[in-house]
């Protein structure tokens, strides 16, 4: 299974900044990227097509949309469809990111609907899950992960190709805080995610990628990526700089 090294630029970067970052990333990364690695960038929508054009033709590079709506087109002010993302060069979509759950108020059912819709309409989807600090302290990490995953994949056909659906385990308390989860915490959570995926999709869930996200940096990436059941990373802050994310992608 190829490791997926994903950059989530969130609501950062003008077009000029996005172009400079994407160009630096390709220049530093493409010549050294091994065959068992893939690089995925989630730019803001305004830079998606431009970044897709920059990475086009670079082996192992992909672009994705940070969000999408579950309809093809229509009177949905402010929304964007999987087809529009694909038209701009995206092949991935993100669902369930903690900022969409906890700032924008998206619930499990809506995230499940989007995940299934994106997959049915041509996007590969990364479904993000993760517990808040009070949930970890209260001993409910597994209950939260199980609820988020089961609801998130509820309408995904069980015959889905395993490379099309990934899970990103992102403990909310580790996102943007500099506080990375410990190796034991990551391995335990990823093993549990794998167990739930197998219970839903059967053995082929062993070929679904499980990414870790939360304060991944060049200094900690090689240790994290070597852990059991860690098939990639989803990086926010440290992906905003081309050189920093290149070090992560090649770690």
Active-site residues, by number, are 97, 170
48 binds ligand PGA (CB under 6 A): no
Backbone angles phi, psi at 43, to 5 degrees: -80, 170
The CB-of-211 to ligand PGA minimum distance in angstroms stands at 9
From residue 102, alpha-carbon distances to 50, 67, 108, 131, 222 in Å are 30, 15, 11, 11, 29
Packed helices 183-201 and 218-225: angle between N→C axes, nearest 10 degrees: 50
For ligand PGA, which stretch binds (CB under 6 A), given 33-41, 50-58, 184-192, 228-236? 228-236
- Residue appearing with tokens 């992560």: 248
Among 215, 244, 246, 247, binds ligand PGA (CB under 6 A): 215
The CB-of-178 to ligand PGA minimum distance in angstroms stands at 8
Among 18, 41, 111, 234, binds ligand PGA (CB under 6 A): 234
Give the contact letters, 174-203, x = binds to ligand PGA (CB under 6 A), - = no: -xx---------------------------
Give the contact letters, 81-110, x = binds to ligand PGA (CB under 6 A), - = no: ------------------------------
For ligand PGA, which stretch binds (CB under 6 A), given 77-85, 108-116, 182-190, 210-218? 210-218
Cβ neighbours for 95, distance < 8 A, ≥ 6 positions apart: 67, 111, 114, 115, 118, 125, 126, 127, 128, 152
Question: In this structure, are residues 187 and 227 in contact, taking their beta carbons and an 8 Å threshold?
Answer: yes
Cβ neighbours for 193, distance < 8 A, ≥ 6 positions apart: 129, 145, 149, 167, 169, 210, 229
Which one, 129 or 235, has the nearer CB to ligand PGA?
A: 235
Question: In this structure, are residues 2 and 37 in contact, taking their beta carbons and an 8 Å threshold?
Answer: yes
For ligand PGA, which stretch binds (CB under 6 A), given 30-38, 48-56, 57-65, 209-217? 209-217
Distance of alpha carbon 54 from its chain centroid, rounded?
20
Binding residues for ligand PGA (CB under 6 A):
8, 170, 175-176, 213-216, 234-238
């Amino acid at each position: 299974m190829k490791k997926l090294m994903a950059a989530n630029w969130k609501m950062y970067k003008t077009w000029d900044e996005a172009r400079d970052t994407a160009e630096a990333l390709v220049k530093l990364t493409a010549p050294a990227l091994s065959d068992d690695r893939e690089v995925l960038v989630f730019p803001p929508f305004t830079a998606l097509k431009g970044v897709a054009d920059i990475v086009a033709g670079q082996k192992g590079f992909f672009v994705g949309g940070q969000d999408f709506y579950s309809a093809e087109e229509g009177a949905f002010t402010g929304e964007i469809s999987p087809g529009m993302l694909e038209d701009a060069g995206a092949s991935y979509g993100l669902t369930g990111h903690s900022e969409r759950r906890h700032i924008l108020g998206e619930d499990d059912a809506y995230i499940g609907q989007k995940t299934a819709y994106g997959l049915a309409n041509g996007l590969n989807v990364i479904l993000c899950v993760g517990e808040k600090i009070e949930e970890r302290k209260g001993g409910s990490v597994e209950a939260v992960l199980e609820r988020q995953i089961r609801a998130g994949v509820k309408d995904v056909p069980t015959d889905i190709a395993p490379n099309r659906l990934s899970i990103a385990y992102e403990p909310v308390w580790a996102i943007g805080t500099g506080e990375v989860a410990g190796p034991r915490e990551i391995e335990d959570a990823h093993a549990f995610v794998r167990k739930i995926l197998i219970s839903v999709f059967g053995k082929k869930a062993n070929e679904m990628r499980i990414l870790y996200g939360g304060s991944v940096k060049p200094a900690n990436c090689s240790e994290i990526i070597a852990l059991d059941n860690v098939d990639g990373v989803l990086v926010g802050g440290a992906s905003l700089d081309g050189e920093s994310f290149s070090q992560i992608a090649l770690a």
